[in-house]
Amino acid sequence: MKPSAFDYFRPSSLDEALEQLAACGAGAKVIAGGQSLGPMLNMRLAMPSALIDLNDLTELAHIRDAGETLVIGALTRHDGIAQSSLVQARCPLLAQAAQTIGHYAIRQRGTIGGSLAHADPAAQFPLIAMTLGADIEIAGRRGSRRVAAADFFVSVMATALAPDEIIRCVHFPTAGASEGSAFRTFNRRHGDYAIVAAATTVALDGDRATRVRLGLSGIGATPQSLDAVVRPFAGRVADATWAAEVARAVRAAVSPEDDPRMPAVYRKELTETLVTRALVSAVGRAKGLTP
Amino acid sequence: MSQVEERSITLTVNGQNHELHVQPRKLLADALREDCHLTGTHVGCEHGVCGACTVLVDGKPVRSCLTYAIQMEGHEVSTVESVAIDGALSPLQQALHEAHGLQCGFCTPGIVMTFEAYLKRNPEPSDAEIRDVLSGNLCRCTGYQNIVKAIQKAAEQMRRNTDYVAP
């Protein structure tokens, strides 16, 4: 057996899960899809005393249209998000990113709540939550609270979640009219974690960008919003020259870690390339020229 | 936790119930091989990367090295042993054989299970779609070309078998 011994609980409601989590104490871990936690257990990087299995909590598996937001339950699987016509129509950036997570079998099992709680700095959902300014709704025994993505991700695999809390759902702002979005990721093998990934939305009035949002992963301990850097470029004609200029400004603004295997200059180069491509693609979509 | 008691569970595999006594940490892959004696499911990397251990849970492909047997109570597990009926290979297995989609065969059970499920959902996949799904199964012998050919061949055969009408 690969993992070290653990006790196992399979609650049938969120309230029961929260009680069990509190009763088990700090050594317990919540498991949903297990696509990140499973490898860590097999390699004994994590040795929890107990696993609390959320897979029976169907109350947490949902995608709801709440007008200006889509509310996605924590137990919703990556594939369910990628394939959802509601997500594709109302929050296409999220659907596009979900389609690129790991591999087909991983997407059948992995969950959005698990991905956010795990907070791998290279993962797709934390980046999209950051880019779109999603709120993460957290359940605890003393009630629920909502935390903005910008406050939720603290560092590498560290979040604002307390040890006795569980993510209930995520509120994603939906796409506006005449807004296009795009996600670009670069890795060495299909399905690997991103070396750098870029997510953007561009809203247009005619040819001019009215609002630009940009998020990046791979340049820091958490996904970053570059909205402050791209904001001055709103109001201009969003053509290829504009995209290249925005991307150069973004490149100048980021300071990724310098790692002998992955020099900072390489990540900066990737950043510029991916941001250019993402912007051009988002503008094309905002104009209805490309699907 | 040094001592965790074994639990009695019922594991439903290929339509048969198996009564097992397992620790919660027992991987589904190990339970299938060691307790159910179904050794068609292969264990490669044991951390979800290689895809050799892929089985179906309620019809969906799942890494059996990243799930625990105890989690499968109340669910239906299908392994490669369920694919051939009365010794007759499935169209996918037959196509892998005919198109030389395997050499050593270690990765093959995972590929068979992944695409038995995927071709039901997408009966007319493009090569790009096949490659996207196949990226989750490592094969070190074939170079993948003949696996893609075999899957296309199987999809074609399955469409013929079911009088498939293109959308």
Half-sphere exposure of A132 (CA within 13 A, CB side): 30
pLDDT (mean) for A133-145: 97
pTM listed for this prediction: 0.95
- The answer to whether the Cβ–Cβ distance between A5 and B114 falls below 8 Å is no
Interface residue of B23, B34, B66, B73 to substitute, partner A, most A CBs within 10 Å: B66
Closest to A55 (Cβ–Cβ): which among B23, B46, B71? B71
- The answer to whether the Cβ–Cβ distance between A109 and B62 falls below 8 Å is yes
Which amino acid belongs to residue B151? I
Residue A1 lies inside a defined structural domain of this protein: no
- The answer to whether the Cβ–Cβ distance between A103 and B68 falls below 8 Å is no
What is the tally of structural domains in chain A? Answer: 3
pLDDT given for residue B1 in this prediction = 46
pLDDT (mean) for A30-52: 97
Could you tell me the pLDDT band of residue A190, with boundaries at 50, 70 and 90? confident
Interface residue of A42, A45, A103 to substitute, partner B, most B CBs within 10 Å: A103
Q: CA-CA distance, A33 to A46, in Å (whole number)? A: 16
Tokens 């510029």 belong to residue: A272
CB-based contacts of A11: which residues, under 8 Å, 6+ apart? A17, A19, A20, A52, A53, A54, A56, A57
Closest to B4 (Cβ–Cβ): which among A6, A102, A104? A6
Integer angstrom CA distances of residue A102 from A122, A150, A270, B115:
12, 24, 20, 17
pLDDT given for residue A1 in this prediction = 66
Closest to B47 (Cβ–Cβ): which among A43, A49, A50? A43
Instruction: Report yes or no: A156 and A121 within 8 Å, Cβ to Cβ.
Output: yes
Which structure tokens are listed for A149? 């993505």
CATH of the domain at A214: 3.30.390.50
Distance from CA of B2 to the nearest CA of A (A): 7
pLDDT given for residue A216 in this prediction = 98
CATH of the domain at A29: 3.30.43.10
Using the 3D structure, point to which of A173, A203, A238 is the last residue of a domain. Answer: A173
Q: Are residues A233 and A271 in the same domain?
A: yes
Which contacts of B118-121 are long-range, i.e. CB under 8 A and separated by 24 or more positions?
B118/A104, B118/B61, B119/B92, B119/B151, B119/B154, B119/B155, B119/B158, B120/B59
Closest to B63 (Cβ–Cβ): which among A7, A53, A105? A105
Count the helix, strand and coil residues of chain A and give each as a percent rounded to the nearest 5: 35, 25, 35
Q: CA-CA distance, B28 to B70, in Å (whole number)? A: 8
Q: CA-CA distance, B7 to A10, in Å (whole number)? A: 13
User: Which H, E and C letters describe chain B, residue by residue?
Assistant: CCCCCCEEEEEEECCEEEEEEECCCCEHHHHHHHHCCCCCCCCCCCCCCCCCCEEEECCEEEECCCCEHHHHCCCEEECHHHCCECCECCHHHHHHHHCCCCCCCCCHHHHHHHHHHHHHHCCCCCHHHHHHHHCCCCCCCCCCHHHHHHHHHHHHHHHHHCCCCCC
Q: Are residues A154 and A76 in the same domain?
A: yes
Q: Are residues A160 and A188 in the same domain?
A: no
Q: CA-CA distance, A275 to A272, in Å (whole number)? A: 5
pLDDT given for residue A291 in this prediction = 82
CATH of the domain at A154: 3.30.465.10
Percent of chain A residues topping a pLDDT of 90 = 94
Distance from CA of A190 to the nearest CA of B (A): 6
Q: Interface of chain B against chain A, CB under 8 Å? A: 1-4, 7, 23-27, 30, 46-48, 51, 54, 60-63, 65-68, 70-71, 114, 118, 131-133, 135-137
Q: Are residues A68 and A152 in the same domain?
A: yes
- The answer to whether the Cβ–Cβ distance between B136 and A42 falls below 8 Å is no
Closest to A5 (Cβ–Cβ): which among B25, B118, B135? B25
Using the 3D structure, point to which of A173, A190, A225 is the last residue of a domain. Answer: A173
Radius of gyration of chain B (CA): 17
Cβ-Cβ contacts under 8 Å, A102 against chain B: 136
Digits of tens for pLDDT over chain B (167 positions)? 457 889 999 999 999 999 999 999 999 999 999 999 999 999 999 999 999 999 999 999 999 999 999 999 999 999 999 999 898 999 999 999 999 999 999 999 999 999 999 999 999 999 999 999 999 999 999 999 999 999 999 999 999 988 777 77
Q: CA-CA distance, A68 to B146, in Å (whole number)? A: 48
Cβ-Cβ contacts under 8 Å, A10 against chain B: 70-71
Instruction: Report yes or no: A254 and A158 within 8 Å, Cβ to Cβ.
Output: no
Cβ-Cβ contacts under 8 Å, A188 against chain B: none
Using the 3D structure, point to which of A173, A205, A224 is the last residue of a domain. Answer: A173
Q: Are residues A138 and A218 in the same domain?
A: no
Tell me if chain B has a CB within 8 Å of the CB of A55: yes
H/E stretch holding A51 reads strand A50-53
Q: Where are the beta strands (DSSP E) in A149-195?
A: 153-155, 158-159, 166-173, 179-186
Q: Are residues A67 and A163 in the same domain?
A: yes
Residue A133 lies inside a defined structural domain of this protein: yes
Domains, chain B, with CATH or none: 7-82 (3.10.20.30), 91-161 (1.10.150.120)
Kindly report, residue by residue over A65-90, the tens digit of the pLDDT: 999 999 999 999 999 999 999 999 99
The residues with which A111 forms a beta bridge, in sequence order, are A77
Mean pLDDT of all residues in chain A?
96
Structural domain span for residue A270: 179-286
